[in-house]
Amino acid sequence: MSCPHPEMESYRQSQQETHWKSLGSLQTPPTLLEYRCNDITNPRSPDEYNLPENKRSIEETHTTLPREVSALCHEAYIQQSEVLGWDNFLRGRISILWGESFFQASMARQRWADKRGWASKVINLILQYSSSLWYFRRSLIHGRTVEESKQKIFLQL
């Protein structure tokens, strides 16, 4: 997740963009995207967020969510960062409050949504993201082909 190799940084950036677009296609409210996007790349303490009380816009201008939804997102963030941890997040173990905040946001927009279905899709996206990074880094370290792997082993000897 933090490998400084230039190829890895470039690959990680492209995978993050793909991940954000995928989350957006699941109708993830912008407030949730704000928390999720920032914290996969750079976890912060809950106090470092300066979210407006009524809205947050990420690639959407029509998003106005009640204060309760923003507060629920904040609680989900706190639970994820302080109780469950971001390592667990990247392994697909997410706070149940993320799904609840998604459900409350959909109700605020008068669109009923299945929070469990959304959460399972999000978990799938998180696992795809983290495993793709792991496989790419593994190929950088150990080689992309059998011949490259043999050469790297030979150099270590």
Say if CB 111 and CB 80 are below 8 A apart: no
Taking residue 138's Cβ as centre, other Cβ atoms within 10 Å add up to 11
The residue written with tokens 């469990």 in the block is: 116
Its domain, for residue 110, covers 6-156
**Do the domain assignments include residue 48?**
yes
- How do the pLDDT tens digits run along the chain, 157 residues long? 778 889 999 999 899 889 888 988 888 877 777 776 655 555 555 455 444 333 333 333 334 556 777 788 888 888 888 888 878 887 888 888 888 888 888 887 777 778 888 899 989 998 999 899 999 998 888 888 888 888 878 887 7
pTM for this entry? 0.71
Angle between helices 115-142 and 6-25 (to 10 degrees): 170
**Do the domain assignments include residue 1?**
no
C-alpha dihedral, 118 to 122 to 97 to 53, nearest 10°: -90
Number of domains in the chain: 1
**Do the domain assignments include residue 37?**
yes
Say if CB 102 and CB 29 are below 8 A apart: yes
**Do the domain assignments include residue 88?**
yes
Residues 6+ apart with CB under 8 A from 29: 63, 65, 69, 101, 102, 105, 106
